[in-house]
A and B are shown apart, each in its own frame.
Chain A
């Protein structure tokens, strides 16, 4: 029995499946390469930084003060202490306000125009470049309040930088608390605040902590606002709350700008210290997330 073609070959649909699947495989490979290309570049760069900086990472790197004349003996003592002080103060100031704002927006705020304005405002604050916060700090804390370029002014500036980050993270973890918790608490006659403080917050704490740690790693690496506030100085003493200060990324920034090779090595060593601190912070965030995430899920 012969099959007679209904139409000529040209108008018949030809799926060309093998060709299309081959194109698909190529596309998948391209996507994969696009994903890992940046990571490979990063690994190569990291390798170079580590091979350059590790030999310089001796006792001096941690315990010596910075030096403009003798980069081989210089270290990050003052900037490390400065970084830690700024970080601690920043978190102490930003965390209560951030969590408070998050609680208000998630638990109290009515659905109205004012709430939408608050939300829009926070979303915009998160997008403001950190250098602009630096200018706010310079104009407000350093000049208008008359604090001068001291640790406290730097920390206040940095607190404003990370405030939106903390609010967004805290809101997300408060929103993830099951509604049934609140209903059960109200059902037992608890007031609104009792419900929040005894049931909502304990459940949300791991998420808030994770968000705070991520905000901390942003605060420790971000140098631009502190540069504008005036955090790039040579100090040969441990900073106090009201003394001038410098931070790790700013000393790295300064070292990169120097022509001598010894300064570049110092910068590499500083970058390693900074990256290790960040690694610890992120590991802590991941640990907290994994450790507490499913605690309440039955």
Chain B
């Protein structure tokens, strides 16, 4: 085919003589560019809003105070001759400035009353510089956010360990992927390799419908229809449980996994299949040994995208998985058991966000700030997964000539 020499650039050249028209063209192009750049502003807006309040969380006075209290406690305790694990246990009590905390710490240190402790704490509060307070707040909050194992920021006795929420998110995602991966892949294989064109054009939109149903409807199904079935099998299971939410979420994610996998399977060149058939392989063998390995990058990308959807899903888990962050118990085994048991109610990161949003936390309060700390974690997690998905699908793509 002969290449045309007429390009948009040559048209622009021709417009040189008509400045009015040229100006209009430039303006329109600028408007379109502005629309595209708007999307960058949206991302920037998300990052800005989340990290602005998120940073406020990690530098909140609450944490500075608890850091100072820890210091005061440590000073008094070492003066009283305590050391080792006993000392650490006492320091761990110093979390906030409620009177209960002061008296419980004072009880553990010989010859110290709550008043003495409070005095030492107030002294420290006045002598410490602002910069050091900020640093204390930062270290203290990071420590408590990532190292604590309980999440109770809405209670009087606040704990800020994010892991119970991450655990909930992971467990719901794992249950949902246990449904979505096999069903999604079988669907992709059947639709792209077995189904007749008629059946394909009938079934594919039907499967896509699964993704179009509002998630609150899936929540209704999970809570009112699936949970009772689960309870009839396991009478101890609560009505809000991870299993029912995860099963329904799996159904919801099937199209995400299947449609990208279908594209990946269709991208495998025909000659590869023909070659395998010519060697005498049956259809199943061709699918499992030739098509599947060749489409792996797309399939893995679709699975990662599915997980990312599961992690970000809100209404379904809020309705069906409950609002109770998992508590791990005292022993190692009870913690493991609590972490992987789907027959319990478990709050996820998104469920916590919904819970705070429902409770109408006042702006500037520590509860409001935890909302954004959790949102930032959620955003970073899903973004990492989306980037990974894109990376896998482009980097590990098998290229055939």
CB-based contact A41/B251 at 8 Å: yes
CB-based contact A15/B11 at 8 Å: no
Interface size on B, residues (CB 8 A): 95
Residue on B with the closest CB to A31?
B190
**Complex contacts, A31 vs chain B, CB 8 Å:** 186-187, 189-190, 194
Residue on B with the closest CB to A30?
B186
**Complex contacts, A191 vs chain B, CB 8 Å:** 11, 15, 21, 25
Pick from B12, B15, B212, B214 the residue with the most CB of A within 10 Å.
B214
CB-based contact B382/A129 at 8 Å: yes
**Complex contacts, B187 vs chain A, CB 8 Å:** 31, 34-35, 38
**Complex contacts, A123 vs chain B, CB 8 Å:** 386, 390
CB-based contact B206/A39 at 8 Å: yes
**Complex contacts, B375 vs chain A, CB 8 Å:** 131-132, 135
Residue on A with the closest CB to B250?
A38
Q: Is A21 an interface residue (CB 8 A)?
A: yes
Q: Is B213 an interface residue (CB 8 A)?
A: yes
Question: Interface size class for chain A?
Answer: 35 or more
B-contacting residues, A180-203, CB 8 Å: 183, 186-187, 189-193
Hey, which bits of chain A sit against chain B, CB under 8 A?
15, 17, 20-21, 23-24, 27-28, 30-39, 41-42, 45, 48-49, 96-101, 103-105, 107-109, 117-118, 120-125, 127-136, 138-140, 143-144, 160, 163-164, 167, 183, 186-187, 189-193, 214, 217-218, 220-224, 227-228, 230, 232, 249-250, 252-253, 256-257, 264, 267-268, 271, 274-275, 278, 282, 286
Pick from B25, B219, B387 the residue with the most CB of A within 10 Å.
B219
**Complex contacts, A140 vs chain B, CB 8 Å:** 45, 49
CB-based contact B308/A127 at 8 Å: yes
Given contacts A23-B284, A192-B8, contact A129 B312 (CB under 8 A): yes
**Complex contacts, A39 vs chain B, CB 8 Å:** 206-207, 210
Contact with B379, one of A27, A103, A128 (Cβ below 8 angstroms):
A128
A-contacting residues, B272-287, CB 8 Å: 280, 282-285, 287
CB-based contact A127/B382 at 8 Å: yes
Q: Is B314 an interface residue (CB 8 A)?
A: yes
Judged by DSSP, the binding face of A is helix
Residue on B with the closest CB to A142?
B363
Hey, which bits of chain B sit against chain A, CB under 8 A?
4, 6-8, 10-12, 14-15, 21, 24-25, 28-29, 31-40, 42-43, 45-46, 49-50, 52-53, 182-183, 185-187, 189-191, 194, 203, 205-207, 209-210, 212-217, 219-221, 223-225, 251, 254, 280, 282-285, 287, 305, 308, 311-315, 318-319, 350, 353-354, 357-358, 360, 363, 371-372, 375, 378-379, 382-383, 385-387, 389-390
Q: With A and B bound together, what is the CA distance between A267 and B216 in angstroms?
A: 10
**Complex contacts, B214 vs chain A, CB 8 Å:** 220-223, 249, 274, 278
Contact with B378, one of A131, A143, A249 (Cβ below 8 angstroms):
A131
Q: With A and B bound together, what is the CA distance between A262 and B289 in angstroms?
A: 55
CB-based contact A45/B38 at 8 Å: no
Contact with B319, one of A17, A100, A186, A257 (Cβ below 8 angstroms):
A257
CB-based contact A20/B357 at 8 Å: no
CB-based contact A192/B6 at 8 Å: no
Query: In angstroms, how far is the closest chain B Cβ from the Cβ of A193?
Result: 5
Query: In angstroms, how far is the closest chain B Cβ from the Cβ of A31?
Result: 4
Q: With A and B bound together, what is the CA distance between A134 and B313 in angstroms?
A: 13
